[in-house]
């Protein structure tokens, strides 16, 4: 399901360690697991076969990557421990959401160690990003620009700098990835790593300028707050026969408000989201099972699907294969 086109690692005497990987996957869970040192879960929300592409470079504590996905997914979990992540869309006609804040093409996503990853990716996500140790960026900012970057970024999830600065940052990351992709071995030289690392630090401080202080600190939108509470409730009662009425009573909102909030934040209605949540759960259970651990019917029933033929049809529409095919493949892996 996953193809690793190329991967290089150098740890020999006199060579600086690095790694480079280009990955292609047709499985949303495998794709989510491929980003090094991230703990994340992807839930596919729109039907159709999934395709994901990832290019990743690791050197000197810096992680540089470009990620593309073919379906709307909701990403939850956490990023690298002790690190900041800064990401910008390469191209996006439809906005996404991160931590309740809209993401547009001129937005910069910020994720700090300890913050929860809460990203609703747009259809055909294409994101270029860099992750770096909090201490390293903080030290560079103090010594080179006399800035307290940790204070500036406290509580920030999305910033909207002037478009020309976002464009410079996007071009810097894309150019670095393209250069390394053509010749990964250049990273075995410590001088190369130092020069590229400093260029990336400077690029981050340029795009997150002092005048951005306070941008993105506003609380999540009301729609996101409603959806977040609904998601928590759904996950706790995922095996129960929930209805829209149950959610409205629990959250204290009208049917219209609930429907609008889900459409705005996740681009699906509440019923479709709950079905997608259950289908993704079944798929993970099927991939973890073997023929001695349960049948498709048993696993589907544990996730609240009582009509097997309707379930199989929904599953195939969502993932492009029958649940029996997923289970059969897991028995031989």
Q: What is the pLDDT of residues 125-182, one digit of tens each?
A: 999 999 999 999 999 999 999 999 999 898 889 988 889 999 999 999 999 999 999 9
Distance of CA 221 to the CA centre of its chain: 20
**Dist CA 69 CA 34 (whole Å):** 13
User: pTM surpassing 0.85?
Assistant: yes
What pLDDT score does 1 carry? 55
Max mean pLDDT among 124-133, 211-220, 237-246 falls in 124-133
pLDDT digits (tens, 9 = 90+) for 2-58: 565 555 555 555 678 999 999 999 999 999 999 999 999 999 999 999 999 999 999
| Residue pointed to by tokens 């029933």 | 301
Length of the chain: 333
- Residue 137 and residue 201 in contact, taking contact as beta carbons nearer than 8 Å: yes
pLDDT at 214 exceeding the cut of 50:
no
Pick 92 or 1 by higher pLDDT. 92
Output the CA–CA distances (angstroms, integers) from residue 293 to 122, 201, 332, in the order listed: 36, 50, 14
Q: And the tokens for 14? A: 């006199």
Read off the pLDDT of each residue in 323-328 and give the average, rounded to a whole number.
88
pLDDT at 59 exceeding the cut of 80:
yes
Residue 245 neighbours by CB distance under 10 Å: 9
Of 288, 263, 154, which is closest to residue 212 (Cα–Cα)? 154
Q: And the tokens for 311? A: 């379930």
Q: Where does the pLDDT of residue 213 fall: very low under 50, low under 70, confident under 90, or very high at 90 and above?
A: very low
Pick 173 or 306 by higher pLDDT. 173
Q: Which residues pair with 66 in a beta bridge?
A: 55, 128
Q: What average pLDDT does the structure give for the chain?
A: 87
**Dist CA 200 CA 152 (whole Å):** 18
**Dist CA 147 CA 119 (whole Å):** 29
Read off the pLDDT of each residue in 196-218 and give the average, rounded to a whole number.
79
What pLDDT score does 74 carry? 93
Of 35, 41, 80, which is closest to residue 53 (Cα–Cα)? 35
């Amino acid at each position: 399901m996953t193809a690793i086109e190329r991967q290089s690692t150098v740890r020999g005497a006199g060579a600086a360690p690095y790694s480079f990987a280009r990955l292609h996957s047709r499985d949303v869970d495998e794709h989510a697991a491929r980003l090094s040192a991230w703990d994340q879960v992807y839930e596919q929300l729109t039907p159709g076969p999934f395709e994901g592409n990832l290019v990743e470079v690791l050197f000197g504590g810096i992680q540089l990557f470009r990620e593309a996905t073919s379906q709307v997914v909701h990403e939850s979990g956490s990023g690298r421990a002790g690190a900041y992540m800064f990401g910008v869309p390469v191209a996006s006609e439809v906005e996404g959401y991160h931590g309740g804040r809209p993401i547009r093409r001129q937005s910069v996503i910020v994720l700090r160690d300890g913050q929860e990853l809460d990203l609703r990716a747009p259809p055909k996500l294409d994101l270029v990003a860099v992750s770096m140790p909090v201490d390293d960026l903080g030290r560079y900012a103090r010594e080179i620009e006399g800035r307290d970057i940790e204070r500036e970024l406290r509580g920030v999830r999305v910033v909207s700098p002037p478009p020309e600065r976002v464009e410079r940052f996007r071009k810097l990351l894309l150019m670095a990835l393209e250069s390394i992709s053509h010749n990964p071995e250049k990273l075995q030289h410590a001088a190369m790593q130092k020069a590229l690392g400093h260029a990336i630090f400077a690029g981050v401080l340029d795009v997150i300028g002092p005048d951005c202080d306070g941008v993105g600190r506003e609380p999540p939108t009301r729609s996101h707050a409603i959806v977040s509470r609904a998601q928590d409730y759904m996950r706790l009662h995922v095996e129960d026969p929930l209805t829209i009425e149950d959610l409205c009573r629990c959250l204290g909102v009208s049917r219209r408000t609930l429907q609008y909030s889900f459409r705005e934040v996740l681009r699906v209605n509440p019923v479709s989201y709950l079905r997608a949540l259950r289908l993704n759960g079944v798929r993970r259970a099927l991939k973890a099972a073997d023929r001695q651990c349960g049948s498709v019917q048993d696993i589907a029933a544990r996730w609240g699907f009582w009509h097997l033929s309707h379930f199989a049809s929904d599953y195939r529409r969502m993932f492009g294969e029958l649940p029996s095919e997923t289970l059969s493949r897991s028995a031989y892996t």
